C-alpha cells in the first residue's frame, strides 16, 4: 500500500511541499503520496489525530502550528528541543516523534548550494521570532566566530541570545552601526509585507552573502542587498533542504536536492506565482 504523508498548515493552499516530495519520491523510487491539509486554527491536534487514524506515516508542519506540534509529541530530537518547535512528525506504533529540520536545511543550503563558510565567520541573524529560533542551534554547531541576533524589539534578541549563550549576542538594529558581517540572514517576516528593515548601510558590502529566508518573491532586504553589490539568495534552497532531511527521516533515503531546486525555480517563475512563503 502507498504510504501517506502530509503537510499541515493554515493557510496551506500554495505550499510547495507536495511538489517537492513528489519529485523526491519519483527520483528515489519510493512508493508514497503527500498531500497538503488545511488544519483549522483551533483543531490542529484533532486534524493530526485523524490523519494518524487513517494510516498516515508522517507529516510536515508549517505556520502557525510548529510550537503546538512540539507540545503534541511523545518524543523529540535535541534540535527540536533547542528550537522549541517541530516541522517534521513521524508516526510509529501509536507514538509521535518530532524533529526540526529547518536549521539543518538552512545550513545545507548555505554550505552546499551556495558554498558559504560559516565556521570562524561573523554571522548576523535578523529577527527573534520562531524562524530565527529554529536556526540558531544548527548555525552555532558550525562554529561561527560570532552570531549576532538583531531585532526591531531588541529585548527579544537579547533574551534569545542569552538562552543560547556562547558566541551569541543580541541587540537592536541601531547597535549594528559600524559592524561588518560576512553572512547576513534575514529571519524576520518583514519581507512578506514588503517592509524594509532599518539597517545601517555598512551591513551591505560586496563581500557579503545576504540570505532571505522568504522565498518566491524579491523582498526589500534582497533589493537593498542587490543594489549594494552583495551576493543574494532567497530561501527556496532552505525549503528544499529541510524537506530532503524530513524525507530522509521518514524513508532512510537521501534525495538529490539540486535537480529538485532547479525544477522549483522554473516552476515558481512561471505557473505558481502565488507560491511565496517564509521558512518559519
Ligand atoms: P516567525 O515565526 O515568522 O519568526 P514571529 O514569531 O511573529 O514570526 O516573528 C516575526 C519576526 O519578524 C520578529 O523578529 C519581528 O520583530 P519584532 O520581534 O520586533 O516584532 C520581525 N518583524 C516582523 N515585521 C517586521 C518589520 N516590519 N520590521 C522589522 N521586523 C519585523
Q: Do 113 and 223 reside in the same domain of the chain?
A: yes
Compute the distance from residue 43 Cα to the ligand 1 centre, in Å: 25
Per-residue pLDDT of the chain (280 residues; tens, 9 = 90+): 899 999 999 999 999 999 999 999 999 999 999 999 999 999 999 999 999 999 999 999 999 999 999 999 999 999 999 999 999 999 999 999 999 999 999 999 999 999 999 999 999 999 999 999 999 999 999 999 999 999 999 999 999 999 999 999 999 999 999 999 999 999 999 999 999 999 999 999 999 999 999 999 999 999 999 999 999 999 999 999 999 999 999 999 999 999 999 999 988 776 545 567 778 7
Whose CA is closest to atom 18 on ligand 1? 153
| C-alpha to C-alpha distance for 91 and 86, rounded to whole angstroms | 14
Has residue 267 been placed in a domain? yes
Catalytic residue chosen out of the listed positions 66, 79, 108, 133: 66
Ligand 1 closest atom vs CA 193: 27
Ligand 1 closest atom vs CA 128: 14
CATH code of the domain containing 108: 3.40.50.720
Has residue 276 been placed in a domain? no
Q: Do 119 and 70 reside in the same domain of the chain?
A: no
Which residues touch 271 (CB under 8 Å, ≥6 apart)? Answer: none
Q: Do 223 and 189 reside in the same domain of the chain?
A: yes
Q: Do 85 and 156 reside in the same domain of the chain?
A: no
Q: Do 176 and 248 reside in the same domain of the chain?
A: no
Give the single-character DSSP code of 112: I
Number of domains in the chain: 2
Q: How many CA atoms lie within 13 A of 81 on its CB side?
A: 6
Compute the distance from residue 65 Cα to the ligand 1 centre, in Å: 17
| Active site (annotated) includes residue 66 | yes
E strands, 213-253, are 214-215, 231-233
Name the strand (E) or helix (H) holding 227: helix 220-227
CATH code of the domain containing 69: 3.40.50.10860
Q: Do 208 and 112 reside in the same domain of the chain?
A: yes
Q: Do 135 and 217 reside in the same domain of the chain?
A: yes
Q: Do 25 and 124 reside in the same domain of the chain?
A: no
And the C-alpha cell for 22? Answer: 513528489
Has residue 277 been placed in a domain? no
Mutate to test the pocket of ligand 1, among 127, 135, 153, 278 (most ligand atoms within 8 A of CB): 127
Give the single-character DSSP code of 197: P
Q: Do 178 and 260 reside in the same domain of the chain?
A: no
Q: Which domain holds residue 110?
A: 104-234
Q: Do 95 and 114 reside in the same domain of the chain?
A: no
Sheet-wide strand order for 75-76: 32-38, 3-9, 58-61, 88-92, 95-99, 75-76
Compute the distance from residue 199 Cα to the ligand 1 centre, in Å: 14
Has residue 156 been placed in a domain? yes
CA distances from 192 to 119, 129, 214, 219 (A): 30, 14, 7, 7
| C-alpha to C-alpha distance for 151 and 256, rounded to whole angstroms | 35
Q: Do 227 and 244 reside in the same domain of the chain?
A: no
Amino acid at each position: 500500500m502507498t504510504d501517506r504523508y502530509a503537510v499541515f498548515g493554515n493557510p496551506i493552499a500554495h505550499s510547495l511541499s507536495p511538489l517537492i516530495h513528489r519529485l523526491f519520491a519519483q527520483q528515489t523510487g519510493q512508493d508514497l503520496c503527500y498531500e497538503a491539509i488545511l488544519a483549522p486554527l483551533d483543531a490542529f491536534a484533532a486534524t493530526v489525530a485523524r490523519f494518524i487514524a487513517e494510516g498516515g506515516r508522517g507529516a510536515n508542519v508549517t505556520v502557525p502550528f510548529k510550537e503546538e506540534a512540539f507540545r503534541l509529541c511523545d518524543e523529540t530530537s535535541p534540535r527540536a528541543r533547542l528550537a522549541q518547535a517541530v516541522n517534521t512528525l513521524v508516526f510509529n506504533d501509536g507514538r509521535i516523534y518530532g524533529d526540526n529540520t529547518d536549521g539543518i536545511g538552512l545550513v545545507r543550503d548555505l554550505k552546499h548550494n551556495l558554498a558559504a563558510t560559516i565556521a570562524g565567520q561573523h554571522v548576523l541573524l535578523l529577527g527573534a521570532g520562531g524562524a530565527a529560533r529554529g536556526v540558531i542551534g544548527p548555525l552555532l554547531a558550525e562554529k561561527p566566530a560570532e552570531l549576532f541576533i538583531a531585532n526591531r524589539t531588541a529585548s527579544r534578541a537579547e533574551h534569545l541570545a542569552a538562552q543560547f549563550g556562547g558566541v551569541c549576542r543580541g541587540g537592536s538594529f541601531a547597535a549594528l552601526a559600524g559592524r561588518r558581517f560576512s553572512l547576513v540572514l534575514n529571519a524576520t517576516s518583514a519581507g512578506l509585507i514588503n517592509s524594509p528593515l532599518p539597517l545601517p548601510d555598512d551591513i551591505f558590502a560586496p563581500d557579503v552573502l545576504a540570505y532571505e529566508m522568504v522565498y518566491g518573491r524579491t523582498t526589500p532586504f534582497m533589493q537593498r542587498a542587490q543594489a549594494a553589490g552583495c551576493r543574494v539568495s532567497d530561501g527556496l534552497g532552505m525549503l528544499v533542504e529541510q524537506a530532503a532531511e524530513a524525507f530522509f527521516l521518514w524513508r532512510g533515503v537521501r534525495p538529490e536536492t539540486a535537480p529538485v531546486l532547479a525544477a522549483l525555480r522554473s516552476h515558481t517563475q512561471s505557473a505558481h506565482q502565488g507560491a511565496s512563503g517564509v521558512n518559519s
